[in-house]
């Protein structure tokens, strides 16, 4: 009896793992810039390439749509999400408000150990830069800013903030490609080191000023 009952559960776990793997694979492709905004996601091609059936693929696409990385167009299927210039500008405006609130709530930090997340993100950024891993750089960039906001100790704020950064990373990938061609690879690392120094100093006005000069709006160009 227990063996029979276990079968559906095993099937559900197996399907769930396929969904998670598909979400991970597709999100990495989208956020690395390998898939352009608006690019169609053809089910037949994806099931063949990922080696999964349509059921877990469709669930993966549904989850990616919840993250704002995929959108479904009536009678045309799924595609990589697109954002208008207004959408991007509004997302940056919301990001700025959340960052300001978090910084003013969090600083000065109680202990130096609270900054470990920021230091870890910079180290990951440095390693990814050295290995020319663009996606790694983008993920470390996002992790650093999420760690700054997380200092406020407001879990819901952090979740909302990270969801905004994920959507913006669709367009940040384009900027990172441009930056890799026109700037020194270490420039991004130095910018974040300056921001870490401002956070460690515990002066909210200085951190907010550094964030304003941080280059975020270059992603709008």
Report pTM.
0.78
What are the structural domains, with CATH classification, of the chain?
2-80 (1.10.10.10), 85-220 (1.20.120.530)
Residue 218 structure tokens = 């270059």
Interacting residues of 202 by C-beta distance below 8 A, sequence separation 6+:
107, 108, 109
Residue 194 structure tokens = 């300056």
| Model confidence pLDDT, tens digit, residues 16-75 | 688 999 999 999 888 877 888 899 999 999 999 999 999 999 999 999 999 989 999 988
Please provide residue 39's backbone torsions phi and psi, each rounded to the nearest 5 degrees: -70, 135
End-to-end CA distance of the chain: 63
**Mean pLDDT value of segment 3-17:** 48
Given a cut of 50, is residue 159 above it in pLDDT? yes
| Model confidence pLDDT, tens digit, residues 74-112 | 888 999 998 888 998 999 999 999 999 999 999 999 888
- Taken in order 20, 24, 30, 35, the sign of the CA dihedral is negative
């Amino acid at each position: 009896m227990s063996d029979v009952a276990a079968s559906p559960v095993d099937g559900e776990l197996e399907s769930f793992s396929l969904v998670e793997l598909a979400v991970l694979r597709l999100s990495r492709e989208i956020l690395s810039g390998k898939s352009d905004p608006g690019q169609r996601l053809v089910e037949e091609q994806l099931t063949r390439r990922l080696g999964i059936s349509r059921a877990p693929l469709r669930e993966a696409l549904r989850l990616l749509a919840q993250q704002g990385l995929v959108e479904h167009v009536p009678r045309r299927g799924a595609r990589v999400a697109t954002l208008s210039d207004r959408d991007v500008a509004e997302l940056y405006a919301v990001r700025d408000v959340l960052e300001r609130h978090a910084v003013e709530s969090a600083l000065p930090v109680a202990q130096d150990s609270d900054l470990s997340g920021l230091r870890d993100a910079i180290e990951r950024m440095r390693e990814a830069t050295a290995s020319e891993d663009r996606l790694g750089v983008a993920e470390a960039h996002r992790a650093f800013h999420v760690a700054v906001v997380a200092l406020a100790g407001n879990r819901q704020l952090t979740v909302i903030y990270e969801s905004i950064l994920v959507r913006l990373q669709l367009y940040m990938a384009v900027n990172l490609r441009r930056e890799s061609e026109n700037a020194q690879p270490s420039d991004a690392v130095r910018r974040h080191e300056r921001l870490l120094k401002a956070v460690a100093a515990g002066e909210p006005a200085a951190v907010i000023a550094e964030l304003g000069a941080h280059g975020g709006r270059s992603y709008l160009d």
